Structure 1
Amino acid sequence: MTIKQILDNIYPLPPASLQKLEDCITEVHYPKGYILLHADKIEHKIFFIKKGIARGYAYQEENEITFWFGKEGDTIVSMKSYVAGQKGYEDIELLEDCELYELQAASLQTLFEGDIAIANWGRKFAEKELIKTEERLIGLQFKTASERYRTLLDESPDLLQRVQLGYIASYLGITQVSLSRIRAEIR
């Protein structure tokens, strides 16, 4: 995806504002397995996925708990660092070789102060991230494991070909054995 497509999917910008934002973005490449963002660190960059897939996870006792997947068009950001300037709680691992667009959070904050259209884009970005988080929380609280799996199938069927089943099970809040049982029932 182009950076323009990704930015427009968040909120369309006037051409001059779009150009200002694009001028602050660089393209970067990282290999599969690279840890892009680190827990217990204030992260100063925001990434947009041009090509590839990533997962967000945190530790609970000795276990990694996957709570997020991102793919083409998605944004990678530590919201705690971005919003509050505090250390994040998540690690972000690249599950494929990735082509990303990188934006310094400080550059974005400067643009917010000088361009109302970009400030509105940032507000829309935050609102959309909040809705995604809310939907995820509601799904975990009110849907069965089978319903969560079906939702994942409907919304991101390609994840099943691109992501290890152990990560998917963790994301769904179930064991791999339970995931295998659910997959067998659906077939």
Structure 2
Amino acid sequence: MSIDEIINNIYPIPDSSRQSLKEHITRVSYPKGSCLMEADKIVPYIYFIKKGIVRAYASTEENDITFWFGSESETVISMKSYVENKPGYENIESLEDCELYKLETAHLRELFNQDIHIANWGRRFAEKELIKTEELIISRQFKTALERYKDLMREKPHLLKRVQLGHIASYLGITQVSLSRIRAEIK
């Protein structure tokens, strides 16, 4: 997906504003297994995924808990760093070789002050990220693992083919054995 499509999917802005934004965006590539963002560190940039899959997770003494997957056209961000310029909570790693668009947060803040269209784009971007977080919290609180798995099948079926079952089970908050049972029940 092109950066123009990604920008416009967040919120359409005039060509001149989009061009100003694109002047601060670079393409980068990371191999599978790369750490894009580390917990407890300020992350001074955001990514937009051109190609590949990443996961966000938190580490405990026993294991890693996956709470988000991102794939083509999605944004990779530490909201705590983006909003408050403070260390984030999450680790984000590439699960495949990834091609990304990278934008320095400081440049984006400068653009917010210079261009109302980009400022509105940034507001809309933050609103969409808030809605995703809200949906995730509600799903975790009120849906069963089976319902969450069915949602994943419906909304992001490509993840089931491209992501290890251990990460999927962690994302659903269950063991791999329980995930196997759910998959067998659905068949």
Same fold per superposition (TM over 0.5): yes
Q: Is 1:47 aligned to residue 47 of structure 2?
A: yes
Partner of 1:150: 150
State the secondary structure of the residue aligned to 2:157. coil
Instruction: For structure 1, list consecutive stretches of 5 or more residues without a partner in the other structure.
Output: none
SS in 2 for 1:151: helix
How far, CA to CA, are the matches of 2:62 and 2:108 in structure 1?
Answer: 36
Partner of 1:27 in structure 2?
A: 27
Q: Deviation of residue 89 (structure 1)?
A: 1.1
Give the match for residue 58 of structure 2.
58
* 2:120 counterpart of 1:101: no
Q: Give the match's secondary structure for 1:158.
A: helix
Between the aligned partners of 1:16 and 1:68, the Cα distance in structure 2 is 33
Q: Which amino acid aligns with 2:17?
A: S
SS of match in other structure, 2:102: strand
TM-score (norm 1): 0.99
* Deviation >3 Å, runs of 4+: none
RMSD value, Cα: 0.6
Q: What is the one-letter code of the residue matched to 2:171?
A: Y
Unaligned runs of 5+ in 2: none
Separation in structure 2 between the aligned mates of residue 144 and residue 60 of structure 1, nearest angstrom: 23
Q: Determine the structure 2 residue equivalent to 1:3.
A: 3
Alpha-carbon deviation of 1:62? 2.5
Q: Distance in 2 between matches of 1:61 and 1:136?
A: 24
Matches within 5 A, 1:131-150: 131-150=131-150
**Aligned-residue offset at 1:59:** 1.3
The alpha-carbon deviation at position 49 of structure 1 amounts to 0.3
Q: Which residue of 2 aligns with 1:38?
A: 38
Deviation, structure 1 residue 61: 3.0
